[in-house]
Amino acid sequence: MAPVSTSKIVLVTGAGTGLGRAVTHALTAAGHQVLAVGRTAATLEESVAAAPGPGTAEAYVADVTDAAAVVALFGHIAQRWGRLDALFNNAGIFGPAKAIDEVSVDEWKQVVDVNLTGAFLCAQAAFRMMKNQDPRGGRIINNGSISAHTPRPHTVGYAASKHGITGLTKALALEGRAHNIAAGQIDIGNAATELTAGIASGSLQADGSIRPEPTMDAAHVARVVAQQVELPLDVNVPFLTIMATGMPYIGRG
pLDDT digits 0-9 by tens, 224-240: 999 999 999 999 999 99
Asked, for residue 56, whether it belongs to a domain, the answer is: yes
pLDDT band at 8, cuts 50/70/90?
very high
Could you tell me if residue 82 is inside a domain? yes
Does residue 2 carry a pLDDT above 50? Answer: no
Buried b (16+ CB within 10 A) or exposed e, 26-36: bbbbbbbbbbb
pLDDT beyond 50 at 3: no
pLDDT of 19-53, one tens digit each? 999 999 999 999 999 999 999 999 999 999 999 99
Beta strands in the chain (DSSP E): 9-13, 33-38, 56-61, 86-89, 138-143, 181-189, 191-192, 203-204, 210-211, 216-217, 239-243
**CATH code: domain of residue 100:** 3.40.50.720
Domain that holds residue 119: 9-243
CB atoms within 10 A of CB 176: 22
DSSP secondary structure letter of residue 19: H
In a domain, 251, yes or no: no
Report how far residue 49's alpha carbon sits from residue 94's, in angstroms, rounded to the nearest whole number. 27
Does residue 249 lie in a domain region? no
Q: How far apart are CA 29 and CA 110, in angstroms?
A: 34
Query: How far is Cα 105 from Cα 85, in angstroms, rounded to an integer?
Result: 37
**DSSP annotation of 141:** E
Distance CA 232, CA 230 (A): 6
Q: Which of 11, 34, 158, 165 is catalytic?
A: 158
Q: Which residue has the higher pLDDT, 205 or 30?
A: 30
pLDDT above 90 covers what percent of the chain? 74
Say whether 249 is catalytic.
Answer: no
**CA–CA gap between residue 243 and residue 245 (Å, rounded):** 6
Does some domain include residue 253? no
- The domain tally of the chain equals 1
Are the C-beta atoms of 159 and 147 separated by less than 8 Å?
A: yes
With respect to residue 109, please indicate whether it lies within any of the assigned structural domains: yes
Name the pLDDT band for 196 (thresholds 50, 70, 90): low
Cα–Cα separations (whole angstroms), residue 165 to 10, 70, 183, 187: 20, 18, 12, 10
**Is residue 107, in this structure, part of any structural domain at all?**
yes
Q: Flag whether 227 is in a domain.
A: yes
